[in-house]
Amino acid sequence: MKRLVVWLLALLCASVLATGPETQPLGLTRLQNAAYSGFEDIAGEVRLQSGRWQGEPPQPGSASVPRVDFLGDLVARGDLDGDGVDEAAVMLTSHLGGTGVFHYVAVVGQRGAENRNIDTRLVADRIQLRGMRIEKGGLVLDLVRAGPGDPSCCPSEVVTLEYRLQDGRLTEPVQVGASMSLSPATLSGQRWRLSAWRFGEPVDGRLTLAYVDGRFQGNAGCNAYAAPVTATDDRGAIEVGLALSTQMQCRAQVMANEQRFLGLLPRVDRFWFHAGRLALAYGEGAGSGVMFLTREE
């Protein structure tokens, strides 16, 4: 009998592992391969494959090809309709061949073991998404959008919007709190961890950054550091001074990462947000790059 109980427990554990978050209807992989509709310039339903869908050119030989992409790995989960069952919210971008990058928020629910796209709503063209969450029954987007006088390429109005799901449709967004101009102060009260030196080059180690009283500060892997930051306009352009740090010694790889990071930091001249991550751009030409940082909870 004891052996039977042990065997049943092992079988139950294996079943739970086999149906982990990636195989559940609201898991990231399933959402990145789901079907979505409701795009203003794309008729019908599109089914993503590994986070992307590409359509046919509107005319033979045309260079303009419609495309829909899943934005980063952002998923917010929570109960939006009050039925006690969680929904998922994701961000999708639509490209139609021009300069526009139209951002949509899509809500997905469960129908048995399958996903169902409940509603999809256009947010805006060329926004920067700082974060997305579901709280108290509302879908909250923290973003940077084009404000008065901003060119479409360079938004600078930092705003929080809240959507509600009513009768299967997302309501018009309501602004939460006052808006502000994009500046280093936008980063106050948050701590970030360096996740990539650039696209496709992840970071091995823990290096952190926060903005406090006019300085970037944190831990560069071994030593604490601080560097002065000055805003040069209201669209994310900044100047970063020389980083000063403590003088501890750690193992070789940790020190190599630290030296690289502290060497790049004074070259940073602009910041923005991409799919919930903080982007720090540095340099020009062949020596340019973008570091990406993930928010620490």
Helix/strand/coil percentages in the chain, nearest 5: 15, 45, 40
Pick the CATH number of 184-296 from 1.10.3720.10, 2.40.128.270, 3.30.70.270, 3.40.50.920: 2.40.128.270
Q: What is the pLDDT of residue 114?
A: 83
Task: For residues 262 and 291, give the distance between their C-alpha atoms in angstroms, rounded to a whole number.
Answer: 12
The model carries a pTM of 0.86
Task: For residues 212 and 280, give the distance between their C-alpha atoms in angstroms, rounded to a whole number.
Answer: 17
Residue 51: C-alpha distances to residues 65, 69, 91, 276 (Å): 16, 6, 11, 17
Closest CA to 289 of 223, 191, 185, 200: 200
pLDDT band per the 50, 70, 90 thresholds, residue 3: very low
pLDDT (tens digit, 9 = 90+) per residue, 234-290?
A: 789 999 999 999 999 999 999 999 999 999 999 999 999 999 999 999 998 888 999
pLDDT (tens digit, 9 = 90+) per residue, 124-154?
A: 999 999 999 999 999 999 999 999 889 888 8
pLDDT (tens digit, 9 = 90+) per residue, 68-103?
A: 999 999 999 999 999 999 999 999 999 987 788 999
Inter-residue contact 165 to 107 (CB < 8 Å): yes
Q: What is the pLDDT of residue 286?
A: 84
Q: Where are the domains of the chain?
A: 23-181, 184-296
CA dihedral angle for residue 62, residue 67, residue 72, residue 78, rounded to 10 degrees: 170
Q: What is the pLDDT of residue 22?
A: 55
Rounded to an integer, the average pLDDT of 148-175 is 94
pLDDT of 213 higher than 80:
yes
Rounded to an integer, the average pLDDT of 177-205 is 94
